[in-house]
A and B are shown apart, each in its own frame.
Chain A
């Protein structure tokens, strides 16, 4: 049933690819705005396949931050993939060989993970290939277009695009905040701390990457201690 699995995967992967394409145009625009060349932006998307981590990494690059800071920023922002990887490892078919597991790991993004978990059957290598490959093309192609087209794009349009990635983050934050007061409380606390780190004298001298790391560790620790999740919330 390999052919059917590949087809199923592509059918589920195409909408993700289209969404990625348009959002990654914005990433390409913002990366070039941060003085990363077009080929650098495209290479980042091809090798990273993640939005928030890339944006944060480029933010650090823009101010010439150290490689250590880039590693720590990427690590902390992408730590959620660790948890997703754990549940993904339970969901792929048991007999999946290790080389396929290692390839599937590259494709763990918020959206691909969400779709994978929604599939009834155990995940086969064929299905995952169909699901992951179109988004890689969408994400990389959009970045290429966005980073090359900035030169031709009217400045006002390029500027307005700067908000698009943040819009995508809001789309991830808001629905769970609406459903769970605990998530909402964590979100509000994170925003308050972030505002403090941005505007308070002395604290605002801290590089953005470090501020994000500190806020994430502090707020997630508090939330985990005060509002531990129920056992059935495992797969969220």
Chain B
């Protein structure tokens, strides 16, 4: 069983911070002192005060409330995009390794094709053509990222596919479903989990980049990256409003990876994590 005292301190910090971010995102309307698009101050970039803990932004909106709503959008898009890229990339990668032959060749060359175009440029082109809404954003981010996951999972699965226990399963007559999900997946979990932590953060950063360029989340909503963009001009005047969402991205990155490392420790155990 899971024993809290046996979790290393670093992982515990990661778990606490990550859960705080998640709770903030889920209960955003209850926590936020003001509305997301509500203009509460006459002066833009108002200083931090008891009414506005983090001050206000470039339009005089409460920055804390914006941050809380921003967590919601950032996490929602990043989580869904990562989930999509992993399910797509891992399943296609594993099946390419198991089936081999033409299936593998065609899929691998398609992925090479996609990867040969820089992700950002590809994203910009596709997003400027397609209607700008959350669904397209998630789909584009997920599919572009899945190429990296595909390559990793195919490489890992090719090694596992030649093990005697996979051969034993094939001799038993098992279908590809069992081989992919019950024989290969559990043994490929460790590299995938460590990649997951990294890819999730890349998704947050990619979303920030897209928003920064104006193709991501559309105003008045904003993810943290978009908020950096909105407030970037303030830096010139010594106003820290742009640094707060940036710091939030950094904190999220670190805490998610602390959790991923801890999960990794447990998935590498060959004794079911109980030994």
Do A and B belong to a common assembly?
Answer: no
The chain A residues found within 8 Å of chain B, CB to CB, are none
